[in-house]
Amino acid sequence: MNDKLAVCRIRTDFKNFNMVMDQFIEKIPLKIENYKDIKIISSFITNNVFNFDIEYSCSDQNIKNIFENVMEEIAGRPLKFIIELKPIYLK
């Protein structure tokens, strides 16, 4: 499978956002990159949304599952969040 580029956004309510924000820079990227099919190019926070520019070589659903698993693992309990994946097309 060819590598694809995308922006992955994780939206959560403000309470949950504050809970995971401290671990954002440190733990989320490290745990995500433990999966072989994904590489984080950059990560940043805007308007209470976690943003990841990623390169990946698996299905979009697998990417969403990876981010869901990591978020739940870090929080230690289920969180309310929405994961959006927006492809980046290079011309």
Residue 77, domain CATH: 3.30.70.680
What tokens appear for 28 in the block? 């989320």
pLDDT at 47: 82
How many angstroms separate the CA atoms of 71 and 27, rounded? Answer: 10
Residue 78: predicted pLDDT: 65
What is the per-residue pLDDT for 14?
65
Specify the pLDDT at position 71: 83
* SS3 label, residue 76: coil
Instruction: Tell me how many domains the chain contains.
Output: 1
Residue spans of the chain under pLDDT 50: 1
> How much is the pLDDT for 2?
74
The predicted pLDDT at position 63 comes to 93
Q: Positive or negative, the Cα torsion across 16, 18, 23, 24?
A: positive
Look up the domain containing 68 and give its range: 4-88
